[in-house]
Amino acid sequence: MLNITIENEPNGRVRACLIGRLDTETYGQCEERLRPVLSGDARELVFDLAQLDYLSSMGLRVLMQTTKALAQRGGRCVLTRLQPPIRAVIDIANALPPETIFASVEEADRYLDVMQRRAKEEAAKKARRST
């Protein structure tokens, strides 16, 4: 069983809280719930995995595809509050960049805020150079 809570936040950030098991029986449900997020204008997706008890290869696939889909449009996906067994699966699979995994939601928010600030600064520099 998997419960998914999705919350839209300011600046194109979305939080998805996964509770239960992300496995062969529930990955389709997760993909379906994430579809509007991925087809919308979200730039950042924060997965809160504090209450995720189990992650199978199909669940890992969902996280990887979500990360890839957001990256293709210049967005970011991060994982927060992973339980040790979930972290072990991700580490063993070596499937996601370490800079996308954070101990807390606050730590992820700080990282995303810095990345947004850098992107704005780079855009402003490009605009100045083109004038």
Reported as a single tens digit per residue, the pLDDT across 41-58 is 888 999 999 999 999 989
What is the tally of structural domains in the chain?
1
Mean pLDDT for the chain? 86
More confident residue, 93 or 31: 31
Range of the domain at 56: 2-129
C-alpha separations of 93 from 31, 71, 87, 131 in Å = 20, 20, 10, 47
Which of the four pLDDT bands, split at 50, 70 and 90, describes residue 99? low
**What is the domain-level CATH number for residue 70?**
3.30.750.24
Taking residues 86-95, what's their average pLDDT?
80
Q: Which residue has the tokens 């780079």?
A: 122
**pTM, full prediction:** 0.77
